[in-house]
Amino acid sequence: LTTIATINKAIAWLAEQTRGKSAFGGTRVIAAAPAERHAAAARLMPEIRGLIGQDEKKVGHFDDSPEVLEFVSSTRLEELAALGTSCPDHFLRTKIRPLVLQSDASDLPALLATYRAGYAAYYERCRHPDSPAMRDPNPVVFLVPGTGMITFARDKATARIAGEFYKNAINVMRGASTVDTYVALPEQEAFNIEYWLLEEAKLQRMPKPKSLAGRVALVTGGAGGIGSAIARRYLSEGACVVLADVDLKSLDGMVENLGAAYGKDNVRGVLVDVTDEHAVARAFAAATLEYGGIDILVSNAGISSASPIEDTALEVWDRNMDILAKGYFLVSREAFRLMKRQQTGGAIVFIASKNGLAASPNASAYCTAKAAEIHLARCLALEGAPLGIRVNTVNPDAVLRGSKIWVGEWREQRAAAYRMKPDELEEHYRQRSMLKKSVFPEDVAEAAYFLASDLSGKSTGNIINVDAGNAVSFTR
Protein backbone atom coordinates (compact mmCIF):
# COMPACT_ATOMS: atom_id res chain seq x y z
CA LEU A 1 0.00 0.00 0.00
CA THR A 2 1.08 3.57 -0.62
CA THR A 3 1.21 6.06 2.25
CA ILE A 4 -1.86 7.91 0.95
CA ALA A 5 -3.81 4.69 0.59
CA THR A 6 -2.91 3.65 4.13
CA ILE A 7 -4.00 7.01 5.50
CA ASN A 8 -7.29 6.87 3.61
CA LYS A 9 -7.91 3.36 4.91
CA ALA A 10 -7.31 4.56 8.48
CA ILE A 11 -9.64 7.53 7.96
CA ALA A 12 -12.39 5.27 6.68
CA TRP A 13 -11.94 2.90 9.62
CA LEU A 14 -12.03 5.74 12.12
CA ALA A 15 -15.16 7.20 10.55
CA GLU A 16 -16.87 3.83 10.80
CA GLN A 17 -15.82 3.30 14.42
CA THR A 18 -16.92 6.76 15.58
CA ARG A 19 -20.20 6.95 13.64
CA GLY A 20 -23.06 7.75 15.99
CA LYS A 21 -20.84 7.99 19.06
CA SER A 22 -20.64 11.03 21.31
CA ALA A 23 -17.23 12.71 21.16
CA PHE A 24 -15.38 13.93 24.25
CA GLY A 25 -18.06 12.60 26.61
CA GLY A 26 -20.78 14.79 25.15
CA THR A 27 -21.65 18.44 25.57
CA ARG A 28 -21.24 20.16 28.94
CA VAL A 29 -21.62 23.79 27.84
CA ILE A 30 -23.90 25.07 25.09
CA ALA A 31 -21.86 27.18 22.66
CA ALA A 32 -22.88 30.81 22.60
CA ALA A 33 -24.22 32.47 19.44
CA PRO A 34 -21.53 33.76 17.04
CA ALA A 35 -21.94 37.42 18.00
CA GLU A 36 -21.72 36.54 21.70
CA ARG A 37 -18.63 34.39 21.13
CA HIS A 38 -16.90 37.18 19.24
CA ALA A 39 -17.80 39.74 21.90
CA ALA A 40 -16.52 37.45 24.66
CA ALA A 41 -13.24 36.85 22.82
CA ALA A 42 -12.78 40.57 22.14
CA ARG A 43 -13.21 41.25 25.87
CA LEU A 44 -10.89 38.47 26.94
CA MET A 45 -8.03 38.77 24.46
CA PRO A 46 -6.67 42.16 25.67
CA GLU A 47 -6.68 40.88 29.25
CA ILE A 48 -4.63 37.85 28.24
CA ARG A 49 -2.36 39.88 25.98
CA GLY A 50 -1.52 42.33 28.73
CA LEU A 51 -0.70 39.64 31.27
CA ILE A 52 1.51 37.56 28.95
CA GLY A 53 3.04 40.46 27.02
CA GLN A 54 4.88 42.46 29.65
CA ASP A 55 8.29 41.30 28.42
CA GLU A 56 7.51 40.65 24.76
CA LYS A 57 4.42 41.88 22.92
CA LYS A 58 2.34 39.18 21.28
CA VAL A 59 -0.33 38.97 18.61
CA GLY A 60 -3.49 36.91 18.96
CA HIS A 61 -5.73 34.70 16.85
CA PHE A 62 -9.27 33.48 17.54
CA ASP A 63 -10.89 30.28 16.26
CA ASP A 64 -14.48 29.24 16.89
CA SER A 65 -14.77 26.62 14.16
CA PRO A 66 -17.13 23.66 14.75
CA GLU A 67 -14.26 21.28 15.65
CA VAL A 68 -12.96 23.70 18.26
CA LEU A 69 -16.40 24.45 19.71
CA GLU A 70 -17.17 20.75 20.05
CA PHE A 71 -14.02 20.24 22.12
CA VAL A 72 -14.14 23.37 24.29
CA SER A 73 -17.82 22.79 25.09
CA SER A 74 -17.36 19.12 26.00
CA THR A 75 -17.50 17.21 29.26
CA ARG A 76 -13.92 15.91 28.97
CA LEU A 77 -12.29 19.21 27.98
CA GLU A 78 -10.19 19.74 31.08
CA GLU A 79 -9.25 16.06 31.42
CA LEU A 80 -8.01 15.69 27.84
CA ALA A 81 -6.39 19.13 27.64
CA ALA A 82 -4.34 18.35 30.75
CA LEU A 83 -2.90 15.21 29.15
CA GLY A 84 -1.07 17.25 26.55
CA THR A 85 -0.60 16.70 22.84
CA SER A 86 0.78 13.54 21.28
CA CYS A 87 2.68 14.84 18.25
CA PRO A 88 6.03 16.69 18.48
CA ASP A 89 5.06 18.97 15.60
CA HIS A 90 2.09 20.08 17.67
CA PHE A 91 3.66 21.11 20.95
CA LEU A 92 6.68 22.75 19.35
CA ARG A 93 4.08 25.28 18.23
CA THR A 94 1.52 25.03 21.01
CA LYS A 95 3.49 24.05 24.14
CA ILE A 96 2.69 20.69 25.62
CA ARG A 97 -0.56 21.84 27.27
CA PRO A 98 -3.12 24.62 26.80
CA LEU A 99 -4.76 26.71 29.50
CA VAL A 100 -8.50 26.29 30.04
CA LEU A 101 -10.27 29.54 30.97
CA GLN A 102 -13.71 30.88 31.73
CA SER A 103 -15.11 33.67 29.56
CA ASP A 104 -15.32 36.23 32.37
CA ALA A 105 -11.53 36.16 32.97
CA SER A 106 -12.07 36.74 36.69
CA ASP A 107 -9.50 34.13 37.66
CA LEU A 108 -7.09 34.79 34.78
CA PRO A 109 -4.13 36.17 36.82
CA ALA A 110 -4.24 33.23 39.23
CA LEU A 111 -4.60 30.68 36.44
CA LEU A 112 -1.65 32.16 34.58
CA ALA A 113 0.49 32.15 37.72
CA THR A 114 -0.35 28.49 38.27
CA TYR A 115 0.42 27.64 34.64
CA ARG A 116 3.79 29.42 34.76
CA ALA A 117 4.72 27.67 37.99
CA GLY A 118 3.71 24.34 36.48
CA TYR A 119 5.78 24.96 33.37
CA ALA A 120 8.81 25.93 35.45
CA ALA A 121 8.41 22.75 37.51
CA TYR A 122 8.16 20.68 34.31
CA TYR A 123 11.37 22.28 33.07
CA GLU A 124 13.20 21.56 36.34
CA ARG A 125 12.01 17.93 36.44
CA CYS A 126 13.04 17.14 32.90
CA ARG A 127 16.03 19.32 32.05
CA HIS A 128 19.49 17.97 31.31
CA PRO A 129 22.82 19.60 32.20
CA ASP A 130 23.13 20.95 28.66
CA SER A 131 19.48 21.93 28.16
CA PRO A 132 18.84 25.44 26.82
CA ALA A 133 17.53 28.01 29.28
CA MET A 134 13.82 27.86 30.04
CA ARG A 135 11.76 29.66 27.44
CA ASP A 136 8.67 31.82 27.91
CA PRO A 137 6.55 29.96 30.50
CA ASN A 138 3.27 31.50 29.35
CA PRO A 139 0.70 29.39 27.51
CA VAL A 140 0.24 29.67 23.75
CA VAL A 141 -3.22 28.10 23.53
CA PHE A 142 -6.20 29.25 25.60
CA LEU A 143 -9.44 27.25 25.52
CA VAL A 144 -12.66 29.00 26.52
CA PRO A 145 -15.74 26.80 27.07
CA GLY A 146 -18.66 27.80 24.85
CA THR A 147 -16.55 30.45 23.11
CA GLY A 148 -13.56 29.01 21.23
CA MET A 149 -9.77 28.90 21.13
CA ILE A 150 -7.38 31.85 21.48
CA THR A 151 -3.70 31.60 20.57
CA PHE A 152 -0.91 34.11 21.09
CA ALA A 153 2.56 34.23 19.54
CA ARG A 154 5.22 36.65 18.34
CA ASP A 155 3.29 37.45 15.15
CA LYS A 156 -0.08 36.79 13.56
CA ALA A 157 1.06 33.99 11.27
CA THR A 158 2.69 32.09 14.14
CA ALA A 159 -0.42 32.53 16.32
CA ARG A 160 -2.68 31.35 13.50
CA ILE A 161 -0.49 28.32 12.76
CA ALA A 162 -0.37 27.41 16.46
CA GLY A 163 -4.16 27.33 16.41
CA GLU A 164 -4.17 25.14 13.32
CA PHE A 165 -1.75 22.71 14.95
CA TYR A 166 -3.81 22.50 18.12
CA LYS A 167 -6.91 21.88 16.03
CA ASN A 168 -5.06 18.88 14.57
CA ALA A 169 -4.33 17.78 18.14
CA ILE A 170 -8.06 18.05 18.88
CA ASN A 171 -8.79 15.76 15.94
CA VAL A 172 -6.29 13.20 17.26
CA MET A 173 -7.86 13.34 20.73
CA ARG A 174 -11.34 13.05 19.24
CA GLY A 175 -10.57 9.91 17.30
CA ALA A 176 -8.49 8.19 19.97
CA SER A 177 -10.80 8.96 22.89
CA THR A 178 -13.91 7.92 20.97
CA VAL A 179 -12.66 4.50 19.84
CA ASP A 180 -10.39 3.74 22.82
CA THR A 181 -8.12 5.70 25.17
CA TYR A 182 -6.15 8.80 24.27
CA VAL A 183 -2.53 8.74 25.47
CA ALA A 184 -0.16 11.70 25.20
CA LEU A 185 3.62 11.56 24.87
CA PRO A 186 5.53 10.81 28.08
CA GLU A 187 6.62 14.04 29.76
CA GLN A 188 10.37 13.42 29.47
CA GLU A 189 10.12 12.53 25.80
CA ALA A 190 8.06 15.66 25.19
CA PHE A 191 10.67 17.79 26.96
CA ASN A 192 13.52 16.25 25.00
CA ILE A 193 11.80 17.27 21.78
CA GLU A 194 10.76 20.73 22.97
CA TYR A 195 14.30 21.54 24.16
CA TRP A 196 16.15 19.59 21.48
CA LEU A 197 19.51 21.27 20.92
CA LEU A 198 19.04 21.38 17.16
CA GLU A 199 15.69 23.10 17.66
CA GLU A 200 17.39 25.61 19.95
CA ALA A 201 20.05 26.24 17.30
CA LYS A 202 17.30 26.97 14.79
CA LEU A 203 15.65 29.42 17.18
CA GLN A 204 18.94 31.20 17.80
CA ARG A 205 19.41 31.75 14.08
CA MET A 206 16.07 33.47 13.63
CA PRO A 207 16.30 37.13 12.55
CA LYS A 208 16.20 39.74 15.29
CA PRO A 209 12.65 41.08 15.74
CA LYS A 210 11.93 44.36 13.98
CA SER A 211 11.25 47.48 16.02
CA LEU A 212 7.44 47.18 15.95
CA ALA A 213 7.24 43.38 16.05
CA GLY A 214 4.29 42.14 18.08
CA ARG A 215 2.55 45.51 18.00
CA VAL A 216 -0.83 46.28 16.49
CA ALA A 217 -1.70 49.66 14.99
CA LEU A 218 -5.08 51.06 13.98
CA VAL A 219 -4.89 53.88 11.43
CA THR A 220 -7.97 55.95 10.67
CA GLY A 221 -8.14 57.42 7.20
CA GLY A 222 -6.01 54.41 6.39
CA ALA A 223 -6.94 54.18 2.71
CA GLY A 224 -5.70 57.70 1.93
CA GLY A 225 -2.25 58.94 1.03
CA ILE A 226 -0.91 59.78 4.49
CA GLY A 227 -2.72 56.92 6.23
CA SER A 228 -1.49 54.28 3.81
CA ALA A 229 2.07 55.65 3.93
CA ILE A 230 2.02 55.33 7.72
CA ALA A 231 0.63 51.81 7.42
CA ARG A 232 3.46 50.86 5.05
CA ARG A 233 6.05 52.27 7.44
CA TYR A 234 4.64 50.36 10.38
CA LEU A 235 4.32 47.14 8.40
CA SER A 236 7.93 47.44 7.27
CA GLU A 237 8.92 47.43 10.96
CA GLY A 238 6.95 44.29 11.78
CA ALA A 239 3.64 45.69 13.06
CA CYS A 240 0.18 44.37 12.24
CA VAL A 241 -2.02 47.16 10.89
CA VAL A 242 -5.78 47.67 10.84
CA LEU A 243 -6.81 50.25 8.26
CA ALA A 244 -10.00 52.10 9.21
CA ASP A 245 -11.75 54.17 6.58
CA VAL A 246 -15.20 55.29 5.45
CA ASP A 247 -14.47 54.61 1.76
CA LEU A 248 -15.07 50.87 1.32
CA LYS A 249 -13.76 50.61 -2.24
CA SER A 250 -10.50 52.39 -1.45
CA LEU A 251 -10.20 50.46 1.81
CA ASP A 252 -10.55 47.06 0.15
CA GLY A 253 -8.04 48.01 -2.53
CA MET A 254 -5.48 49.24 -0.02
CA VAL A 255 -5.84 46.16 2.20
CA GLU A 256 -5.26 43.96 -0.85
CA ASN A 257 -2.22 45.97 -1.95
CA LEU A 258 -0.60 46.04 1.47
CA GLY A 259 -1.43 42.40 2.11
CA ALA A 260 0.34 41.43 -1.10
CA ALA A 261 3.39 43.47 -0.10
CA TYR A 262 3.64 42.62 3.60
CA GLY A 263 1.63 39.43 4.11
CA LYS A 264 -2.12 38.97 4.34
CA ASP A 265 -1.92 37.99 8.01
CA ASN A 266 -0.58 41.42 8.88
CA VAL A 267 -3.23 43.69 7.35
CA ARG A 268 -6.94 44.05 8.03
CA GLY A 269 -9.51 46.65 7.06
CA VAL A 270 -12.54 47.90 8.93
CA LEU A 271 -15.23 50.24 7.61
CA VAL A 272 -15.87 53.04 10.09
CA ASP A 273 -17.38 56.50 10.35
CA VAL A 274 -15.30 58.15 13.07
CA THR A 275 -18.19 60.46 14.00
CA ASP A 276 -20.33 57.49 15.11
CA GLU A 277 -19.35 56.27 18.56
CA HIS A 278 -20.99 52.88 18.05
CA ALA A 279 -19.17 52.37 14.74
CA VAL A 280 -15.90 53.31 16.43
CA ALA A 281 -16.52 50.79 19.22
CA ARG A 282 -17.29 48.09 16.65
CA ALA A 283 -14.09 48.90 14.74
CA PHE A 284 -11.94 48.52 17.85
CA ALA A 285 -13.72 45.29 18.78
CA ALA A 286 -13.10 43.91 15.28
CA ALA A 287 -9.42 44.86 15.46
CA THR A 288 -9.13 43.27 18.88
CA LEU A 289 -10.77 40.05 17.71
CA GLU A 290 -8.31 39.87 14.81
CA TYR A 291 -5.10 40.62 16.69
CA GLY A 292 -5.81 40.56 20.42
CA GLY A 293 -5.52 44.28 21.13
CA ILE A 294 -4.09 47.58 19.93
CA ASP A 295 -0.80 49.26 20.86
CA ILE A 296 -0.79 52.20 18.45
CA LEU A 297 -3.58 54.50 17.32
CA VAL A 298 -3.00 56.91 14.46
CA SER A 299 -5.90 59.35 14.26
CA ASN A 300 -5.69 60.60 10.70
CA ALA A 301 -9.22 60.68 9.23
CA GLY A 302 -9.78 64.08 7.72
CA ILE A 303 -11.61 66.45 5.44
CA SER A 304 -11.01 70.01 4.33
CA SER A 305 -13.05 73.09 3.51
CA ALA A 306 -12.37 76.69 2.58
CA SER A 307 -14.56 79.77 2.48
CA PRO A 308 -14.68 83.26 4.00
CA ILE A 309 -16.32 83.27 7.41
CA GLU A 310 -19.43 85.05 6.11
CA ASP A 311 -19.90 82.30 3.51
CA THR A 312 -19.21 79.36 5.83
CA ALA A 313 -22.41 77.38 6.31
CA LEU A 314 -23.19 75.89 9.69
CA GLU A 315 -23.21 72.44 8.08
CA VAL A 316 -19.62 72.99 6.91
CA TRP A 317 -18.55 74.13 10.37
CA ASP A 318 -20.25 71.16 12.01
CA ARG A 319 -18.76 68.67 9.55
CA ASN A 320 -15.24 69.91 10.27
CA MET A 321 -15.86 69.70 14.00
CA ASP A 322 -17.50 66.29 13.71
CA ILE A 323 -14.70 64.59 11.79
CA LEU A 324 -11.64 66.52 12.95
CA ALA A 325 -12.53 67.14 16.59
CA LYS A 326 -15.25 64.71 17.65
CA GLY A 327 -13.80 61.95 15.49
CA TYR A 328 -10.37 62.28 17.11
CA PHE A 329 -12.02 62.32 20.53
CA LEU A 330 -14.07 59.17 19.87
CA VAL A 331 -11.21 57.02 18.57
CA SER A 332 -8.92 58.23 21.35
CA ARG A 333 -11.51 57.44 24.00
CA GLU A 334 -11.89 53.91 22.67
CA ALA A 335 -8.11 53.49 22.48
CA PHE A 336 -7.73 54.61 26.10
CA ARG A 337 -10.38 52.14 27.23
CA LEU A 338 -8.63 49.28 25.46
CA MET A 339 -5.07 50.23 26.41
CA LYS A 340 -6.10 50.63 30.03
CA ARG A 341 -7.41 47.05 30.01
CA GLN A 342 -4.21 45.76 28.38
CA GLN A 343 -2.00 47.55 30.93
CA THR A 344 0.96 47.65 28.55
CA GLY A 345 0.92 51.35 27.73
CA GLY A 346 0.53 52.51 24.16
CA ALA A 347 1.15 55.27 21.65
CA ILE A 348 -1.40 57.62 20.12
CA VAL A 349 -0.38 59.80 17.20
CA PHE A 350 -2.57 62.63 15.94
CA ILE A 351 -2.10 63.78 12.36
CA ALA A 352 -3.11 67.42 12.71
CA SER A 353 -1.90 70.30 10.53
CA LYS A 354 0.24 73.39 10.42
CA ASN A 355 -3.12 75.17 10.39
CA GLY A 356 -3.74 74.02 13.94
CA LEU A 357 -0.99 76.43 15.03
CA ALA A 358 -1.02 79.04 12.27
CA ALA A 359 -4.09 80.90 11.06
CA SER A 360 -4.93 80.70 7.37
CA PRO A 361 -7.30 82.88 5.32
CA ASN A 362 -10.73 81.55 4.41
CA ALA A 363 -10.35 78.33 6.42
CA SER A 364 -11.74 79.15 9.85
CA ALA A 365 -13.66 75.89 10.30
CA TYR A 366 -10.72 73.71 9.30
CA CYS A 367 -8.12 75.65 11.29
CA THR A 368 -10.27 75.74 14.42
CA ALA A 369 -10.94 72.00 14.29
CA LYS A 370 -7.24 71.26 13.80
CA ALA A 371 -6.39 73.47 16.78
CA ALA A 372 -8.87 71.42 18.81
CA GLU A 373 -7.03 68.24 17.83
CA ILE A 374 -3.72 69.61 19.02
CA HIS A 375 -5.07 70.69 22.39
CA LEU A 376 -6.94 67.41 22.81
CA ALA A 377 -3.63 65.59 22.32
CA ARG A 378 -2.05 67.69 25.07
CA CYS A 379 -4.90 66.89 27.44
CA LEU A 380 -4.67 63.19 26.65
CA ALA A 381 -0.91 63.22 27.20
CA LEU A 382 -1.60 64.33 30.77
CA GLU A 383 -4.20 61.61 31.32
CA GLY A 384 -2.21 58.90 29.58
CA ALA A 385 1.15 59.36 31.27
CA PRO A 386 0.30 57.41 34.47
CA LEU A 387 -0.87 54.55 32.24
CA GLY A 388 2.20 54.58 30.02
CA ILE A 389 0.13 55.90 27.11
CA ARG A 390 2.05 58.48 25.10
CA VAL A 391 0.14 61.01 22.97
CA ASN A 392 1.91 63.12 20.38
CA THR A 393 1.06 65.12 17.27
CA VAL A 394 2.43 65.40 13.74
CA ASN A 395 1.69 68.66 11.94
CA PRO A 396 2.06 68.27 8.18
CA ASP A 397 1.61 71.06 5.67
CA ALA A 398 0.73 71.02 1.99
CA VAL A 399 0.93 67.27 1.43
CA LEU A 400 -0.65 67.38 -2.00
CA ARG A 401 0.53 64.18 -3.64
CA GLY A 402 -1.51 61.09 -2.88
CA SER A 403 -3.90 63.03 -0.64
CA LYS A 404 -7.65 62.70 -1.13
CA ILE A 405 -8.44 66.09 0.37
CA TRP A 406 -6.36 67.87 -2.27
CA VAL A 407 -8.40 66.40 -5.10
CA GLY A 408 -11.12 68.75 -6.35
CA GLU A 409 -12.57 71.72 -4.50
CA TRP A 410 -10.00 72.09 -1.71
CA ARG A 411 -7.14 72.60 -4.15
CA GLU A 412 -9.23 75.08 -6.12
CA GLN A 413 -10.33 76.92 -2.99
CA ARG A 414 -6.82 77.24 -1.61
CA ALA A 415 -5.53 78.39 -5.00
CA ALA A 416 -8.25 81.03 -5.10
CA ALA A 417 -7.32 82.20 -1.62
CA TYR A 418 -3.77 82.82 -2.84
CA ARG A 419 -4.93 84.19 -6.22
CA MET A 420 -3.24 81.55 -8.37
CA LYS A 421 -4.05 78.58 -10.58
CA PRO A 422 -4.59 75.17 -8.94
CA ASP A 423 -1.61 73.64 -10.75
CA GLU A 424 0.63 76.37 -9.30
CA LEU A 425 -0.25 75.53 -5.72
CA GLU A 426 2.35 72.84 -5.02
CA GLU A 427 5.20 75.06 -6.20
CA HIS A 428 3.77 77.94 -4.15
CA TYR A 429 3.87 75.85 -1.00
CA ARG A 430 7.38 74.63 -1.75
CA GLN A 431 8.67 78.15 -2.23
CA ARG A 432 6.81 79.35 0.85
CA SER A 433 8.62 76.87 3.07
CA MET A 434 11.91 77.79 4.70
CA LEU A 435 13.67 74.72 3.29
CA LYS A 436 12.15 75.12 -0.18
CA LYS A 437 11.04 71.49 -0.25
CA SER A 438 7.80 69.68 -0.95
CA VAL A 439 6.33 67.46 1.75
CA PHE A 440 5.19 63.93 0.86
CA PRO A 441 3.12 61.29 2.70
CA GLU A 442 6.29 59.28 3.37
CA ASP A 443 7.76 62.25 5.26
CA VAL A 444 4.74 62.30 7.56
CA ALA A 445 5.01 58.53 7.96
CA GLU A 446 8.58 58.85 9.26
CA ALA A 447 7.43 61.18 12.01
CA ALA A 448 4.49 58.91 12.83
CA TYR A 449 6.87 55.94 13.06
CA PHE A 450 9.23 57.81 15.39
CA LEU A 451 6.37 58.77 17.71
CA ALA A 452 4.97 55.22 17.78
CA SER A 453 8.30 53.48 18.34
CA ASP A 454 10.57 53.13 21.35
CA LEU A 455 12.81 55.78 19.81
CA SER A 456 10.44 58.32 21.36
CA GLY A 457 9.69 56.26 24.45
CA LYS A 458 10.32 59.24 26.74
CA SER A 459 8.29 61.74 24.72
CA THR A 460 4.66 62.70 25.17
CA GLY A 461 2.62 65.86 24.62
CA ASN A 462 4.91 66.89 21.77
CA ILE A 463 4.41 68.26 18.27
CA ILE A 464 6.58 67.47 15.26
CA ASN A 465 6.09 69.85 12.36
CA VAL A 466 6.62 68.16 9.00
CA ASP A 467 6.17 71.23 6.84
CA ALA A 468 9.61 71.99 5.39
CA GLY A 469 9.77 74.92 7.79
CA ASN A 470 7.17 77.58 8.51
CA ALA A 471 8.01 80.21 11.11
CA VAL A 472 4.32 80.87 11.76
CA SER A 473 3.90 77.30 13.02
CA PHE A 474 6.87 77.28 15.39
CA THR A 475 5.57 76.10 18.77
CA ARG A 476 5.73 78.64 21.57
Q: Which residues are catalytic?
A: 366
CA distance 285 to 270: 10
What DSSP element (H or E) covers 39? helix 34-52
What DSSP element (H or E) covers 383? helix 364-384
CA distance 458 to 456: 5
CA distance 49 to 156: 13
3-state SS string over 304-329? CCCECHHHCCHHHHHHHHHHHHHHHH
Cα dihedral across residues 263, 266, 270, 276: positive or negative: negative
CA distance 371 to 350: 12
Q: Under a CB-based contact definition with an 8 Å cutoff, are residues 193 and 88 in contact?
A: yes
What DSSP element (H or E) covers 346? strand 346-351
| Strands, sheet with 296-299, edge to edge from the N-terminal-most edge strand | 267-271, 240-245, 216-220, 296-299, 346-351, 389-396, 463-466
Q: Under a CB-based contact definition with an 8 Å cutoff, are residues 377 and 392 in contact?
A: yes
CA distance 314 to 318: 6
How far does CA 321 lie from the centroid of its chain? 28
Q: Which residues pair with 391 in a beta bridge?
A: 348
CA angle 273, 244, 257 (to 5 degrees): 140
Q: How many CB atoms lie within 10 A of CB 14?
A: 16
